[in-house]
Amino acid sequence: MNQAVDRPEPPVEVSSQAEAEPGTGLGAGLAAAISASALVVPMLLSLSTTPTPNHPRVFLWYRTLRQPAFKPPDVAIPVAWTVIESFLAAGAYRLLRKPSSPARNRSLALLAGNVVAIGAWSRLFFGRRNLPASTVAAAALIGTGAAYVAQAKKVDTPAAAAGLPLTAWVAFATVLTAAIWRLNR
């Protein structure tokens, strides 16, 4: 008679979620912490220049600008930016979890450049009140946003798609900023 012998299974090592598996990118915890900068950096760069009652000079200046009829309601703009920056954070997370490669690293550099440029645009427009320069900066963001999408697509299609809202919004923002500039010369 054959009897099956119960043999104990060898222990399975369970790695923490914060640790990356061999051959992969950063661990989940570190990738999440770094990708959160897509939300934090633009906010910090524009903190002192937001057109809110907390910043009365900026608020009053912005209220005196003639605006085109197609300008969205003021409440929609920070909501749109929060969604866009959340998508960028998700794209950054996905890329950071991928193995390091020249394409991944170029994608992350373009994404980081875009994140900084978002905050810099706010400082140009609201802080310096420089409508011509902020129009050019918005147009440049179209190019850098598209470059991010193209580069990230080589590494991770969902990460690339996460850059599409930025590129579309800054195309609209360029037209809007140019119209505000034209109306307030």
Domain limits, the chain: 28-183
What is the reported pTM? Answer: 0.81
Say if residue 15's pLDDT is above 80: no
Cβ–Cβ under 8 Å, residues 18 and 24: no
Q: How far is it, in rounded angstroms, from Cα 54 to Cα 117?
A: 23
Is the pLDDT at 80 greater than 60, yes or no?
Answer: yes
Output the CA angle 113-114-117, nearest 5 degrees: 85
Q: Is the pLDDT of residue 19 over 50?
A: no
What is the pLDDT, as a whole number, of residue 17? 39
Interacting residues of 60 by C-beta distance below 8 A, sequence separation 6+: none
Q: What is the per-residue pLDDT for 48?
A: 76
Q: What is the pLDDT of residues 22-71, one digit of tens each?
A: 457 888 888 888 888 887 887 877 777 888 888 899 999 999 999 999 99
Would you say domain 28-183 falls under CATH 3.40.50.300? no
Q: Which residues contact 13 (CB under 8 A, 6 or more apart)?
A: none
